[in-house]
Chain A
Amino acid sequence: NAGVMQNPRHLVRRRGQEARLRCSPMKGHSHVYWYRQLPEEGLKFMVYLQKENIIDESGMPKERFSAEFPKEGPSILRIQQVVRGDSAAYFCASSPRSTSGSRFSYNEQFFGPGTRLTVL
């Protein structure tokens, strides 16, 4: 009964390199969310995906960042030409389906352990 899996757990990159972060949702979950947490700050929403579709990318920086959730395989958050300001913890969450916000069906988002990206 695996939870949300993320790998790698720690990633070190030099400025200008590419970072690829992977997220495998919980079994049966078709919705994936990526959040970024800078040191000593709260989580900031980045992107919400369903299989093969980006639903909401309002939190994604306009450049260098992209995300996908293919039909097969994990969701990937890709950061090109990393800079020191990209150093953060990146959390992935998954939920089974969309919600209308009913009292008994809230479809909480389950978080993975995070990938801690350090840019040297």
Chain B
Amino acid sequence: EDKVVQSPLSLVVHEGDTVTLNCSYEVTNFRSLLWYKQEKKAPTFLFMLTSSGIEKKSGRLSSILDKKELFSILNITATQTGDSAVYLCAVETSGSRLTFGEGTQLTVNP
């Protein structure tokens, strides 16, 4: 059975802090790992990672994948209150099926 585990499940920080969110996985037929941000509604896409060691970056957010150790991290630097959300990690396997982790609830206080 495919499994994706995120940690921590909940995190509270102050504006300006840097946070690291973790995602580990055990799946068969790995194709890619994705990060989504979920505020009140639909999960919105952040990153898709397919190769180990190549950092993807978008503004203050960055992510990297380690296919040998089967994990990924999502970093957010200089956090803002607008970063408060649930961050979801998902692994795509053959047939374009996504297996999601439980999510990390990030709260950024002013």
Q: Are A and B part of the same complex?
A: no
B contact residues vs A (CB 8 Å cutoff): none
A contact residues vs B (CB 8 Å cutoff): none
